[in-house]
């Protein structure tokens, strides 16, 4: 691509490159320079356009800087090899007109975006797990984002403030990660309709605050959560959690294929979730009754044994009591005389 080849295209509203632009030529730089002049540009697609080259990461940032001069609404820079646009802690500014941002299928390790008016943000298939464990971005209020895709990002923990200010968020995709529980705060997303947690390592939602928040969301008939392809833990300790699912079963997508790991290490598919959990609750209640009866029996036996021993040795006990009393009395007398 020659310098100025696209310069001054005053009526250019959409531009797509789906072919690699060799990074060690001036084609990439020329595109970045010319794009600054595309003021009416509304849609830019750069899918698989750039080869992997760590030395050129600063040009990635310059691309976004030059886009600030445009009216772009949809930006797709996916299937490239971007590892970093800005170092952790720095905020990437995007045009206020931008509504759809797709940075999927890159190698991004950390990213903080000033989202302004973004409605859809696709970050799937990156490596953001370590970054999202901490909240690098400043807390922003009243974001407009409605759909956020963070699937396939090796996420094992999320900052408690990860979703602060996202009051209009409706679809959150956290599937195909390494989450083992919901330890992040969802109370800031009251309009959430879809929470996809499939293909993680979740065995139980132990966080009571998270359960309360989800229960509140289930007050909306449209809210669904997907826990498929997580192996839940099924025993008497988790039966409360499983009964919570049963009580809200219509909100759990694909619940007929949920898997459960029993105490004997057997994994079963919950084809009839309600029936299996109901039977498990009965078994646990029966076990609890047996344990309570055995415990009470042991307590009664110990009390009877103690009373019997006290009765059998009552004279010796009385003798020891009076002897001890006399010893204490004469000790006090001696102390008084001395």
Residue 286, pLDDT above cutoff 90: no
* 61, burial (CB in 10 Å: exposed 0-12, middle 13-18, buried 19+): middle
Q: Is the pLDDT of residue 157 over 70?
A: yes
- CA atoms of 155 and 165, how far apart (whole Å): 21
SS3 assignment, position 113: strand
Query: Which pLDDT belongs to residue 202?
Result: 96
Question: Which parts of the chain are beta strand (E)?
Answer: 14-17, 43-46, 74-76, 92-93, 100-102, 113-114, 120-122, 147-149, 171-173, 194-196, 224-226, 231-233, 252-253, 259-261, 267-269
Backbone angles phi, psi at 267, to 5 degrees: -105, 125
Alpha-carbon gap, residue 19 to 9, rounded angstroms: 21
Q: Tell me the sheet residues that pair with 60.
A: none
* Count of alpha carbons within 13 angstroms of residue 149, beta-carbon side: 15
Return the percentage of the chain with pLDDT > 70, whole number: 80
CA separation for the pair 202, 230 (Å, rounded): 6
This prediction's pTM: 0.81
Angle between helix axes 273-312 and 314-337 (nearest 10 degrees) is 70
Q: What is the pLDDT of residue 290?
A: 59
Average pLDDT of the chain, as a whole number: 83
Residues 14-292, CATH architecture? Alpha-Beta Horseshoe (3.80)
- Neighbouring-strand partners of residue 233: 261
Choose among 39, 49, 45: nearest CA to 14: 45
Hey, what are 272's tokens? 């009839």
> Is residue 55 over pLDDT 60?
no
Report residue 7's pLDDT band, with 50, 70 and 90 as the boundaries.
low
pLDDT digits (tens, 9 = 90+) for 196-239: 999 999 999 999 999 999 999 998 889 999 999 999 999 888 99
At 6, is the pLDDT very low, low, confident or very high (cuts 50, 70, 90)? Answer: low
The model's confidence at residue 4, banded by pLDDT at 50, 70 and 90, is: very low
Look at residues 34, 103, 42, 116 and name the one whose alpha carbon lies nearest to residue 72. Answer: 42
pLDDT score for 199:
97
The band of 99, judged by pLDDT with boundaries at 50, 70 and 90, is very high
Q: Is the pLDDT of residue 170 over 90?
A: yes
């Amino acid at each position: 691509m020659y310098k100025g080849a696209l310069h001054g295209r005053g009526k250019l509203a959409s531009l797509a490159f789906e072919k690699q632009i060799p990074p060690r030529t001036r084609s990439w730089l020329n595109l970045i320079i010319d794009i600054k002049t595309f003021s009416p540009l509304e849609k830019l697609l750069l899918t698989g356009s750039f080869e992997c080259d760590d030395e050129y990461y600063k040009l990635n940032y310059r691309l976004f800087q030059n886009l600030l001069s445009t009216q772009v609404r949809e930006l797709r820079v996916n299937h490239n090899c971007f590892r970093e646009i800005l170092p952790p802690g720095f905020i990437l500014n995007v045009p206020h007109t931008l509504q759809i941002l797709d940075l999927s299928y890159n190698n991004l390790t950390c990213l903080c975006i000033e989202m302004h008016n973004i409605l859809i943000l696709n970050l799937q298939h990156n490596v953001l797990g370590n970054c999202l464990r901490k909240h690098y971005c400043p807390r922003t209020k009243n974001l407009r984002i409605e759909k956020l895709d963070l699937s396939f990002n090796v996420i094992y923990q999320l900052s408690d403030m990860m979703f602060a200010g996202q009051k209009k968020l409706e679809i959150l995709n956290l599937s195909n990660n390494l989450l083992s529980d919901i330890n992040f705060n969802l109370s800031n997303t009251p309009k959430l309709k879809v929470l996809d947690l499939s293909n993680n390592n979740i065995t139980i939602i132990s966080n009571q605050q998270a359960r309360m928040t989800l229960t509140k969301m289930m007050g909306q008939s449209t809210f669904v959560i997907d826990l498929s392809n997580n192996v839940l833990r099924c025993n008497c300790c988790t039966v409360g959690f499983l009964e919570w699912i049963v009580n809200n079963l219509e909100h759990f997508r694909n619940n007929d294929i949920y898997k459960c790991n029993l105490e004997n290490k057997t994994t079963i598919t919950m084809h009839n979730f309600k029936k299996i959990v109901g039977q498990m609750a009965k078994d646990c209640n029966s076990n609890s009754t047996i344990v309570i009866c055995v415990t009470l029996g042991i307590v009664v036996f110990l009390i009877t044994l103690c009373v019997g021993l006290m009765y059998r040795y009552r004279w010796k006990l009385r003798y020891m009591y009076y002897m001890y009393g006399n010893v204490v009395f004469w000790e006090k007398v001696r102390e008084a005389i001395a």
